[in-house]
Amino acid sequence: MGTQTRQTLKGWLLASPLVVILSIFLVLPVIAIVVVSFWGSTAYSYYPDFQFENYTFLLTSSVTLSVYLKTFMFTAITWLLCFLIGFTVAYFLAFHIRSLPVQILLFMICTVPFWTSNIIRMISWIPFLGRNGIANNTLLSMGLIDQPLEWLLFSEFAVILAFVHLFTLFMIVPVFNSMMRIDRSLIEAARDAGASGWQILTNVILPLTKPGIMIGSIFVVTLVMGDFITVRFMSGGQSASVGRVISNEIGLLQYPAASASAVVLLITVLLMISIMLKFVDIRKEL
């Protein structure tokens, strides 16, 4: 056996547990969804078939378009806020904190919530945003409003707030990682050449941070596009998103319809990611 063949065999052998798990729980399920999206359904069950009814219904329904537009809106606003906040926080940590232990400590503070429950973190907004919550009471006592604001909790505002709360760290981590790899002498050189702090930020740091920004963006975009819990919980069931439509169809046991919706969602997300991947080679970033 040649060395090349032996290496390949060894590689596949070591990767086999990974390949088996992902084949059963990722590849096969996606294939199952694609197949079932062509099946027919009755009120209680579904049966093998090959028909396009699920897709024709989905793609000609006016609801689909409006739900997608709403989901894109959630995605765009959340992405923008996550980017602005995430970039600023990462920039502060990477370039303004001078001692490594402090840097690590502050970075940990930003990442710890990632290891706690998202559901609990959503529930935590109730006492703050509720009708008699902290936000309303503060604004009332300051005399800024006469009546409690009704749109704080269970609204699209709350949905976006929760998204930003949950997902900003997906932006901070890769952006911070990219920033820490920037050779500090480049910044010295820019300063020596007379660049202002702002010019260094926009002409040196921002371009070199692009890979991190793209990885963070891929996370934020896919998490928001596929979300169904945050939208349901934070809007009090009043707002729609693509994920929620699918989860409702699942709730009604309409698996073929849910599958067709899922296929369209997957294609949409993959298209968005392939555009973003044009800007970065992920394998180089590890």
Partner 1 sequence: MSERRPFSFYVLSVFFAVFVLFLYGPTLTIAILSFQGPSGGLTFPMNGTSIHWFKNLFEQQAVGDIWGSFRRSVTLGLMVMVTTVVVSVLGGLAFRTHFRGSSLVFYMVVGSLIIPSILISLGVGILFNIVDLEVHWATSGFGSQLTWALPFGLFIMFAVFNRFDRSYEEAARDLGATPWQTIRHVVIPIIAPSLIGVALFGFTLSYDEFARTLLTAGTFNTLPLEIYGMTTSVTTPVLYALGTLTTVFSFFVIGLAIIGFRLAMRKTKQPLPLD
Residues in 20-39 at the binding interface with partner 1, rule: CB under 8 A:
21-22, 24-30, 32-33, 36
Q: At closest approach, how far in Å is the CB of 196 from partner 1? A: 11
| Nearer to partner 1 among residue 17 and residue 207 (C-beta) | 17
Of 172-201, binders to partner 1 (CB under 8 A) are 197
By CB under 8 A, is residue 68 in contact with partner 1?
no
By CB under 8 A, is residue 43 in contact with partner 1?
no
Task: State which of residues 148, 165, 195, 204 lies at the interface with partner 1 (CB under 8 A).
Answer: 165
* Distance (Å, whole) CA 87 – CA 95: 12
* Distance (Å, whole) CA 218 – CA 223: 8
Q: At closest approach, how far in Å is the CB of 59 from partner 1? A: 19
If binding means CB under 8 A, how many residues of this protein chain bind partner 1?
84
Q: Which stretch binds partner 1 (CB under 8 A): 139-147, 178-186, 202-210, 260-268?
A: 260-268
* Distance (Å, whole) CA 159 – CA 125: 11
Tracing tokens 């040196």 back to the chain, one arrives at 204
* Distance (Å, whole) CA 243 – CA 255: 14
* Distance (Å, whole) CA 86 – CA 173: 8
By CB under 8 A, is residue 274 in contact with partner 1?
no
Specify whether the CB–CB gap between 171 and 216 falls below 8 A.
Answer: yes
Q: Which stretch binds partner 1 (CB under 8 A): 50-58, 72-80, 123-131, 183-191?
A: 123-131
* DSSP character at residue 202: I
Tell which residue, 247, 240, 243, 229, has the closest CA to residue 121: 229
Task: State which of residues 56, 124, 202, 238 lies at the interface with partner 1 (CB under 8 A).
Answer: 124
By CB under 8 A, is residue 105 in contact with partner 1?
no
Task: State which of residues 77, 106, 140, 208 lies at the interface with partner 1 (CB under 8 A).
Answer: 106
Of 221-250, binders to partner 1 (CB under 8 A) are 222, 225-229, 233, 243, 246-247, 250
Specify whether the CB–CB gap between 39 and 256 falls below 8 A.
Answer: yes
Task: State which of residues 67, 81, 82, 89 lies at the interface with partner 1 (CB under 8 A).
Answer: 89
- Beta-carbon contacts of 33 under 8 Å, excluding residues fewer than 6 positions away, are 259, 262, 263, 266
By CB under 8 A, is residue 205 in contact with partner 1?
no
* DSSP character at residue 112: G
Task: State which of residues 53, 55, 72, 85 lies at the interface with partner 1 (CB under 8 A).
Answer: 85
Cα-based distances in Å from 109 to 114, 223, 243: 10, 22, 31
| Nearer to partner 1 among residue 126 and residue 149 (C-beta) | 126
